[in-house]
Amino acid sequence: MPPALDITDLRYRYRASDEWILRIDRLSLDAGERVLVTGESGRGKSTLLHLIAGVLDIPRDAALGSGTIRVAGADLHALRGAARDRFRGQHLGMVFQTFNLLHGFTAVENVMTALLFSNIPSREHESRALALLERLGVERPGALPDELSVGQQQRVAVARALACEPAIVLADEPTASLDPARASEAMDLLVSACAERNAALVCVSHDPAMAERFERRECLNALADASAARTGGEDA
């Protein structure tokens, strides 16, 4: 099987006059592997997730960026429009810092939205979403997000991320809005749910308590410094 994620020679910045926000020669994860990505504020942690998800494009102008990002063996950035949306829906799950639940939709409807771009027949969407919510301990699948506790909202967010059994789950500061007890519970849930489905997990966080949960940790500052050393400095 190809790696769940394979990044090669990635460079990215917003303007040619800026320093590189991201400079990664190689970052690869196999199925079921998990990594914690750390770095100072403004060093590109969220930008990296957005590039992996195809929300941001790798620039065609080499002065602004270059490189290859493969998810489950496919070059996501070679896809355009609806084809990229379908691929993202089938192979990528995301857990956001503020959950980003749709407030006009019930818990089960939020999970069902993640299935819209999948290959799963629509007649199975509700039963699949309900089963996943039950598995993750969501007690009121018919409730709106505002009617649920923060912990229950987190569980809905994890269920939505895993609904299509993605190759990789991206978690952007997933515990930032939670108190320490809920943060620990949320990470237990996320890690165990990914492991159960053999999904790779990329988590970015400032939380120092996260480190003990990840055998593999990558600092963007260190990746950039190593890359600069190999190229003899700034390679713009």
User: Would you state the structure tokens that stand for residue 78, as one six-digit string?
Assistant: 């070679």
Mean pLDDT of the 215-227 span: 80
What is the structure's pLDDT at 182? 78
Half-sphere exposure of 186 (CA within 13 A, CB side): 30
Task: Calculate what percentage of the chain has a pLDDT beyond 90.
Answer: 59
Examine the pLDDT at 231 and tell me if it is beyond 70. Answer: no
pLDDT tens column, 8-43: 999 999 888 888 989 999 999 999 999 999 887 767
pLDDT tens column, 122-160: 999 999 999 999 988 899 999 999 999 988 998 899 999
User: How many Å apart are CA 67 and CA 47, to the nearest integer?
Assistant: 14
Domains of the chain: 5-231 (3.40.50.300)
Residue indicated by tokens 């957005």: 50
What is the structure's pLDDT at 236? 42
Q: Identify any residues that bridge with 37 across adjacent strands, giving them in sequence order.
A: 204, 218
Query: 236 vs 157, which has greater pLDDT?
Result: 157
